[in-house]
Amino acid sequence: MSGLPVLGAGGWGTALAVNAARNGPVRLWARRADFARTLADQRVNAEYLPGVTLPAGLEVTAHLGEAITDAPFVLVVVPSVGVPDLLAALPRDLGVVLCAKGLAPDGGQLSVLARQLGFTRVAVLSGPNHAEEIGRGLPAATVVASRDGGFARSVQAALMTPGLRVYTSDDETGVELGGVLKNVMAVAAGLVDGLNLGDNAKSALITRGLREMNRYLTALGAREETVYGLSGLGDLVATATSRHSRNRAAGEAIARGEHPGQGGKIVEGLRTAGLLDAWAAAHGHDLPIVRAVAHVTRGEWTPGDGVARLMEREAKPEQH
């Protein structure tokens, strides 16, 4: 086999593989052998990305060693909880592009974890990118960020197609954590939708959520212009408003008293809310929307309690 390895055959991994196959050969790795055989035989990922045909240049395998042979870098597109184990199984001379929008088990950045494990070429990919649309070739844009500008440009060249415009950045922290925090804000937006609180409430939630993202990201060294770029504001708008958004749908389900899961698919924002709430408490940071989502998703507050606590906070200037 030869081609760009995409490790993870969920909806996002499949969409990235289909997009990259427009430029050349791709190897899509699926963890389960039976699932890999199904994808190879049926040429469609009916479980995670129905309706999108896998192109001829996309090969599927369940053998990790086979997938990464002779590859200069790989796209790591498994849920954040699975990233540590997958990184541990990869050769350290590989470049890794982290595509999960979540945190490491200790609440830290996955890119930091990758470097701690010995990887020297690390990048993160994030933006307003719904798999359902990118898999179909609808126009979209994303950002690949790395401290290594040459590596970022290599990834850009591999993924940029007529349907996906890829920008580069050296603000690794801003791009990675923007994609993480917007998931929590999207859960909050879903709570607003599920409670039928209206457009005014949702607009205010998104705007104040962006302000909260800015406080968190810049406290960790991100640049403000990144917060207001594709991986921050862009991704927040898409994830908080789209019918495709798993995080928004989870919040809506919670507000209706239903289970937030979607066919066993991981909702990153639910896990992230608790990790970020703990970080804010430990470091003395004010992340009220994160706190409300964390308490609601843990069942400690009702959705109505969360709204009331946000609305009853002390009066202050908008730019406080």
pLDDT the model gives residue 1: 46
Question: Between vectors from CA 17 to CA 74 and to CA 101, what angle results, nearest 5°?
Answer: 65
pLDDT value, residue 105: 87
Active site residues: 182
> How far is Cα 301 from Cα 304, in angstroms, rounded to an integer?
8
Closest CA to 125 of 105, 106, 139, 110: 110
Burial 280-318 (b: 16+ CB within 10 A, else e): beeeeeebebbbbbbbbbeeebebeebbeebeeeeeeee
Which helix (H) or strand (E) segment holds residue 215: the answer is: helix 199-219
316 three-state secondary structure: coil
pLDDT for residue 17: 98
pLDDT in tens, the chain (320 residues): 469 999 999 999 999 999 999 999 999 999 999 999 999 999 999 999 999 999 999 999 999 999 999 999 999 999 999 999 999 999 999 999 999 999 998 889 999 999 999 999 999 999 999 999 999 999 999 999 999 999 999 999 999 999 999 999 999 999 999 999 999 999 999 999 999 999 999 999 999 999 999 999 999 999 999 999 999 999 999 999 999 999 999 999 999 999 886 666 789 999 999 999 999 999 888 999 999 999 999 999 999 999 999 999 999 898 86
